[in-house]
A and B are shown apart, each in its own frame.
Chain A
Amino acid sequence: MAINKIVGSAEEAVADVFDGAMILVGGFGTIASCPSRLLTALSERPEVRNLTLVSNPGGFGVEIWGEHDIEVLHRTGQARKHIVSAPTNPLIVNTVEKKYRAGEVEVEMVPQGTLAERVRAGRAGLGGVLTPTGVGIAEIQDGKPVVEMDGKKFLIEKAIKGDFAFIRAHKADRWGNLVFQGTSRTFNATMAGAARVTIAEVDEIVELGELHYEHIITPGVYVDRVVLRK
């Protein structure tokens, strides 16, 4: 039977997300790089709670172009923990900051490069990574093992492998091969395959073979479901 990873709707794509799941959410912080439709669909299943979110941004908390970002899962109270690099922004006190101050959400702050590499390690089957980032910085070192290699000190940072990865791409084929647009590639390509189930929200679905093999950024093997933004 032919491979076909295309599903009919965002609702269908997130239907098996379960209570307590760890969800990696791609993008950098801009709406254009955010899997908004998948987040909206999950926010409409309020019974799914205690989520651990993994993402670069904490979310703006205002709808931009009528679309939600990751903030919506804090607004609905579905998130319990957020592993994040840039949770706040200087312009507003966002929902994750309010929930953190109220003791309702746990925040694990991770340097951005460490977050990217922990996720990549999760996809690559590594147990973790050795990084010099955070050595000598109390808030990051925080009891983690330090190893010395060739006279330099490194922290051992655990790999991240999620239950689901929600990512946003530009074009896909039915095998799940993906191409991105410009800087919207960011954590979307990094997170593909770093979860048991990777779901790609895309602008356009094309025929198999239409994406040139030299141009495919994320091979379809990392992608389980493709949903078209409508």
Chain B
Amino acid sequence: MTDTSDKIRIDEQTMALRVAREFKDGDTVNLGIGVPTLASNLVPMDREVIFHSENGALGYGQICTAGEGSPHLVNAGGQPVEVRPGLAVVDHAESFAFIRGGWLDYTVLGGLQVSEKGDLSNWMIPNKQIGTIGGAMDLALGAKNVIVVMPHNTKDGGYKIVKECSYPLTGVQCVTMVVTDIAVIRIDKRGMVLCEVAPGWTAEEVQALTEPKLVIDPDLTEIALA
């Protein structure tokens, strides 16, 4: 097996940029805290995507530059966001009615582990912390498409894409797409399908860093950002 430890992996902004490419005009999208929230700034200006945050904003604009914006209009990470024409605000029970009721086209979440069946673990590492669920379980269950953005491997090189999740679950058979620093994988009837690889990476190299067997998409390409 070739040593891939020195190969270049794509950075967080680029992963968020790849995620943002998924959204089409009129889609409703909820972004989790961290790398996912970056995606709201990366949608092409001519596309009308309705961003939702757990605290009840529907149709907010870009994340404000430091020092700008209002503390009374923030995303799920507490960052001030811009008012955009069309913005609506609801209370928390209504916000989650929207999530659970199937009104979201996409949610983008961080991940600790994703299994080959599409199970997600992202709220707790046992024996290390009490964890934090937040809105993740409702989002994983309610959104039509669940995109997970995470490094492909743990810091010490272990698997994060696994046969079975060993950490407490956030959602069961919910993940539809995984964007990592070396690959884009879709989960559908065929199984875990490797669709895109980072520039300079081969399908074999990605497979070696992934526990379950990947199906290679016949149209496998390099991760495209344009």
Contacts and interface: CB of A to CB of B under 8 A. Distances in A.
A51 interface: no
B91 A189 contact: yes
A111 B133 contact: yes
Contact of A132 (B71, B95, B141, B168): B141
B100 interface: yes
Given A116-B93, A217-B91, A28 B55 contact: yes
Contacts of A190: 91-93
A29 B90 CA distance: 16
A132 B17 CA distance: 32
B93 A120 contact: yes
Interface string A102-146: 000001011111101101100000000001111111111000000
B132 A87 contact: yes
B100 A183 contact: no
A111 B138 contact: yes
B155 interface: no
Given A32-B71, A97-B130, A183-B74, A113 B172 contact: no
Contacts of A181: 70, 72
A87 B130 contact: yes
B134 A133 contact: no
Contacts of B72: 32-33, 181-184
B53 interface: yes
Nearest to A29: B78
Interface string A185-226: 111111000000000000000000000000001000000000
Interface of B: 53-57, 70-74, 78, 89-93, 95-96, 99-100, 124, 129-138, 141-142, 168-172
Interface of A: 28-33, 56, 85-89, 97, 100-101, 107, 109-114, 116-117, 119-120, 131-140, 181-190, 217
